[in-house]
A = this chain, B = another copy of it.
Amino acid sequence: MRRFPAHPFSPLDDPNFDGDKLKEECGIFGVVGVNDAANFVALGLHALQHRGQEAGGIVAHDPEQGFNSVRRFGYVRDNFTKAEVMKDLPGPLAIGHVRYSTAGSKGATAIRDVQPFFGEFSMGGAAIAHNGNLTNAAALRRELIERGSIFQSSSDSECIIHLMARSIQKTLAERIKDALRRVEGAFAIVAMTRTKLIGVRDPLGVRPLVLGRLGDNAWALASETCALDIIGADFVREIEPGEMVVIEDGKVNSSRPFAPAASRFCIFEQVYFSRPDSIIGGRSVYETRRQIGVELAREAPVEADLVCPVPDSGTPAAIGYSQESGIPYAMGIIRNQYMGRTFIEPTEQIRNMGVRLKLNVNRALIKGKRVILVDDSVVRGTTSRKIKDMILEAGAAEVHFRIASPPTAWPCFYGVDTPERAKLLAATMTEDEMRDWIGVDSLKFISLDGLYRAAGEAAGRDPKAPKFCDACFSGDYPVAPADKIAEGFEMKAAE
């Protein structure tokens, strides 16, 4: 999802202690066929909270009480667990959404950007929750406004509702297809009408969506399998790229509304976004990450005393690196578990503390040691510098960074919050320059081929037909980012 700067209800920027991570912008979940479906959605969204921490919403439908909706800033556990809230969301069918990017906006206005979005159509209501980003949303929005649509949010996803409203199809499911054929970009969608739970993935399948089953008649759709686990649902299968499923009366009907295309799943889901206990493409995310560490140890060995993860995302790769290299694994950096969310309106003094509020060096362990630090990625490099400072101040003899992804040199336009290209360290420096800028004894990234191997492609990346979307590393964008190109973004020159 993206924000449109012209809109009057623009959220503010937020001091961000997680500055050097890419942010997945959404998690989606839906369930049909259970009593109080919204309670299940709350649990599913809680399991998907890592995909969007700033706000969440649930829409439920009850045959008696119609559609109801609650949308709030903050964590699922704080907003969607109280009986007094959940009683307003009755019924056997519900969908929900957690999102990242409204950080720092306040009050009633920006709540408009929180999904699911709801529309009342002549044949009834429908709600929609979208993970991903539409690359032609700005153009669509301009066109729709000119034709008389009133946008209520600053979100690209709202286009889908307006395209549905203008479709001449007779059913809402057909109108969703109609609308999605007009949009470009990445979308995994969970939608609902009064009786149907609907799931769709874009033709390339950039964002994940899985199907789960709960007993005989109940079904769930979720961004990741970990959200099926929490409600006790069995993982049935992934929704396939370009597939639409319509679940009604306990039956799942599949169709293929789009022209066929080769799948390009986001490889960064494997590296960082997805939870390690999720299963993607038939593989454990944890195992892929551990294997990245194994590949890194082979590609970039170094003599050292300890392998330490930058917690928590570097942990599986650090375990793999240790196992492959034989260098002992150790918790050299301890994460303050009470820093799940950033401070709200901190004092100046606290704003300046930065990474120390979140991480502390295990001084007694580190002192005098040669330390390998394994992190998942380097975006701006700012946090890496601060961690290096902390480790050296604690008396480490040497510091070697090993990064579980290739250099992040290109922005993502498919649903990830990336800095503009000029702020990506790897867009302006070589690996050696980055090493010197961060100020460590060595810095090595896994190769793109190594990453593909860890992700199960024994032969590495096939440049003619890469199996994943790896645009953030390669600049090879599977869908042209039309709005961004119109704004002046320059694609990588053909080689």
A-side interface residues toward B, CB under 8 Å?
A: 6-10, 36, 39, 42-43, 46-47, 49-50, 53, 59, 66-72, 75-78, 81-84, 86, 88, 106-109, 111, 114, 118-122, 125, 142, 145-152, 161-162, 165-166, 226, 229-230, 232, 275-277, 279, 283-284, 286-287, 290, 312, 315-316, 319, 323, 328-331, 334, 336-341, 343-350, 353, 356-357, 360-365
Say yes or no: A329 contacts B331, CB within 8 Å. no
Q: Which of B9, B279, B344 has a CB less than 8 Å from the CB of A78?
A: B344
A365 engages B284 (CB within 8 Å): yes
Docked-complex contact A82 and B120, CB < 8 angstroms: no
* A336 contacts across to B, CB distance below 8 A: 46-47, 49
Cα A240 to Cα B70 with chains together (Å) = 43
Q: Are A70 and B364 closer than 8 Å at their CB atoms? A: no
- Name A346's contact: one of B81, B287, B330 (CB within 8 Å): B81
Partner of A9, one of B68, B226, B357: B68
Can you pick out 8 interface pairs between chain A and chain B where the beta carbons lie within 8 Å of each other?
A: A82-B344, A83-B345, A122-B146, A148-B162, A152-B152, A230-B353, A286-B362, A338-B340
CA distance A148 to B55 in the complex (A): 28
| Closest Cβ neighbor of A359 among chain B residues | B277
Chain B proximity of A373: nearest CB distance (Å): 15
With A and B bound together, what is the CA distance between A69 and B109 in angstroms?
7
Could you tell me if B148 and A148 are in contact, using CB atoms closer than 8 angstroms?
A: yes
Are B329's CB and A39's CB within 8 A? no
Specify the chain B residue showing the minimal Cβ separation from A282: B364
Chain copies in the assembled complex: 4
From B81, B148, B229, B338, A363 is in contact (CB under 8 Å) with B229
Find out whether the CB atom of A337 lies under 8 angstroms from the CB atom of B350: no
A49 to B343, CA, bound (A): 15
A8-B66, A331-B316 are contacts. A43–B162 as well, Cβ < 8 Å?
no
Nearest B-chain residue to A117, judged by Cβ: B150
The answer to whether A8 touches B69, judged by C-beta atoms less than 8 angstroms apart, is: yes
Q: In the complex, are the beta carbons of A276 and B331 less than 8 A apart?
A: yes
A347 to chain B, nearest CB (A): 5
- Could you say which residues of chain B place their CB within 8 Å of the CB of A88? 106-107
A118 nearest CB neighbor, chain B only: B8
Q: Which residues of B contact A275 (CB under 8 A)?
A: 334, 360
Once bound together, how far apart are the Cα atoms of A319 and B329, in whole Å? 8
**Contact (Cβ within 8 A) A350 B146:** no
B49 engages A150 (CB within 8 Å): no
Q: Nearest B residue to A166 by beta-carbon distance?
A: B148
Known: A46-B338, A150-B165, A330-B319. A360 touches B118 (CB 8 A): no
In the bound assembly, the distance between CA atoms of A53 and B360 in angstroms comes to: 19
CA distance A146 to B279 in the complex (A): 43
In the bound complex, residues from chain B placing their C-beta under 8 Å from that of A108 are: 70-72, 108, 111, 114
User: Which residues on B sit within 8 Å (CB–CB) of A316?
Assistant: 331
Option from B42, B67, B344 in Cβ contact (under 8 Å) with A8: B67
Contact call B83/A362, Cβ cutoff below 8 A: no
Q: Which residues on the B side are within 8 Å of A86 (C-beta)?
A: 347
The answer for the CA separation of A39 and B350 in the assembled complex, in Å, is: 8
- Whether A77 touches B343, Cβ cut-off 8 Å, given contacts A66-B8, A329-B329, is yes
Contact A145 B166 (CB under 8 A): no
Contact of A76 among B276, B287, B338 (CB under 8 A): B338
